[in-house]
Amino acid sequence: MKVLNFETVSSIPALYHPGLDLIVISDLHLGLEGGMTSKGSYVPEFQLDELLEDLHEIRKRTEASRLLVNGDLKNEFKTSLYSEKAEIEEFIDETESLFDELILVEGNHDTFIESTVEEKGYELEKFFLEDGVLFTHGHISLEELEIEEEFDTVVIGHEHPALELKDEIGVKEKVNCFLYGKNTDGKGLIVMPAFSTISNGSGVNNMPSRELLSPVLRDFVEKSSLKALAVSREAGMFEFPELGKI
CB-CB neighbours of 92 under 10 Å: 20
Question: What pLDDT, on the 0 to 100 scale, is given for residue 83?
Answer: 81
With CA atoms as reference, report the closest residue to 76 among 103, 36, 49, 47.
36
Question: What pLDDT, on the 0 to 100 scale, is given for residue 30?
Answer: 93
The DSSP symbol for 201 reads P
Statement: residue 1 has pLDDT above 80: yes
Mean pLDDT confidence for 106-125: 94
Measure the CA angle with vertex 154, ends 219 and 88; round to 5°. Answer: 105
More confident residue, 169 or 245: 245
Q: What's the pLDDT tens digit per position in 24-48? A: 999 999 987 655 546 655 455 678 9
Question: What pLDDT, on the 0 to 100 scale, is given for residue 53?
Answer: 97
Residue 182, phi then psi, degrees to nearest 5: -130, 150
Question: What pLDDT, on the 0 to 100 scale, is given for residue 171?
Answer: 74
Percentage of residues in the chain having pLDDT higher than 90: 82
Contact 166, 206 (CB under 8 A): no
Whole-angstrom distance, CA of residue 241 vs CA of residue 226: 8
What residues have CB less than 8 Å from 217, skipping those under 6 apart?
138, 156, 159, 179, 189, 191, 223
Q: What's the pLDDT tens digit per position in 151-166? A: 999 999 999 999 998 8
More confident residue, 220 or 55: 55
15-19, 81-85, 134-138, 155-159: which has the minimum mean pLDDT?
Answer: 81-85
Whole-angstrom distance, CA of residue 51 vs CA of residue 18: 22
Question: What pLDDT, on the 0 to 100 scale, is given for residue 38?
Answer: 61
pLDDT band at 93 (very low <50, low <70, confident <90, very high): very high
Helix runs in the chain, H state only? 32-38, 47-62, 82-98, 114-119, 142-145, 215-218
| Cα-trace Rg, the chain | 17
Statement: residue 213 has pLDDT above 80: yes
Helix (H, G, I), strand (E, B) or coil at 7: strand
- This prediction has a pTM of 0.94
pLDDT band at 70 (very low <50, low <70, confident <90, very high): very high
More confident residue, 246 or 194: 194
Domains and CATH numbers, the chain: 2-245 (3.60.21)
With CA atoms as reference, report the closest residue to 158 among 122, 185, 196.
196
Whole-angstrom distance, CA of residue 71 vs CA of residue 73: 6
* Residue 13 host element (H or E): strand 12-17
Whole-angstrom distance, CA of residue 210 vs CA of residue 192: 19
Whole-angstrom distance, CA of residue 166 vs CA of residue 164: 7
Whole-angstrom distance, CA of residue 7 vs CA of residue 2: 5
Question: What pLDDT, on the 0 to 100 scale, is given for residue 33?
Answer: 62
Question: What pLDDT, on the 0 to 100 scale, is given for residue 109?
Answer: 92
Whole-angstrom distance, CA of residue 214 vs CA of residue 191: 10
